[in-house]
A = this chain, B = another copy of it.
Amino acid sequence: MKTYLDCFPCFMRQALFAARISTNDVKLQREVLNRVADELRRFPLDATPVEMGERIHNIVKEITGNKDPFKKEKEKYNKIAKGMLKELWELVKNADDQLLMAIRIAIAGNIIDFGSLTDFNIRASLNDAISQEFAIFDYDKFKEVLEKADEIMYIGDNAGEICFDKVLVEVLRNMGKKIYFITREEPIINDITIPDAEFCGMSKVAEVLSSGSVAPGTIIKHTTKTFQKLFYSVPMIIAKGQGNYETLSDEKRPIFFLLKVKCPVIARDIGAKNMDIVLKYNLA
């Protein structure tokens, strides 16, 4: 997905939010905004918004010296989400269509996104995702591709959310699939890295590896050779959240995007409305 001019005010908003989480020093916060304003002037619109996100959060880290400003938030939401696992499994066990319920749960977890939102209600998101109609629902295609796939790449998104992902990963594993679960390389916003996967026990049910991307998405040219080899060979890819959609929507690969729309620009691009839930096949 390309960058729209509507993203520019939002880049400044994200920069201010991250600067304030990183430091109380207003002079440093101002310095962050000035550097981001300078970057904005040079940023090409044919790049994805995630690439500007990467620049913004690198500027915040560089100026404030805080390398993991969302650390506390990540820990908090990992704990909350892990504490809900039993309840999530009850939902799956009682569902007529267990696979679909696990997909709905994984999407519900996608509300935990400090890139788009500054506060959110996980409980409300779960209730919505269980009953809400999908704005885009390529579920038949999902089952069709899944049936023939022995291996699946699952590109995760945020801390907390990863515990919800684990339910879907386990459902897929119980169907005999091998799952490669992908994290980011370094902390950025509240995106997952390897320690988050360890916290929720993901490595017990999937092979966990980092994509090598340090952006809040998956910028293919910045990923490792190992990741690229897998990405271009696996028969099925599940990509969670907006950042992965922004960076992968132009890839001609069998990707299923699972996300909750939290931004009007992405809503327009993907063909849905804000707060809609989406299961979209990239080759449709």
Interface, chain A (partner B; CB < 8 A): 5-6, 8-10, 12-13, 16, 26, 29-30, 33-34, 37-38, 40-41, 45
CA distance A5 to B33 in the complex (A): 8
The 8 Å CB contact of A5, one of B5, B8, B29, B38, is B29
Number of copies of this chain in the oligomer? Answer: 2
A-B contacts besides A5-B33, A38-B41, 20 pairs, CB < 8 Å:
A5-B16, A5-B26, A5-B29, A5-B30, A6-B16, A8-B12, A8-B16, A8-B33, A8-B37, A9-B10, A9-B12, A9-B13, A9-B16, A12-B12, A30-B45, A33-B40, A34-B41, A37-B37, A37-B38, A37-B40
Q: A8-B12, A9-B9, A9-B16 are in contact. Are A37 and B41 (CB under 8 A)?
A: yes
| Listed A/B pairs (5) with beta-carbon separation below 8 Å | A5-B26, A5-B33, A9-B13, A33-B40, A34-B41
CA distance A26 to B45 in the complex (A): 11
CA distance A37 to B10 in the complex (A): 13
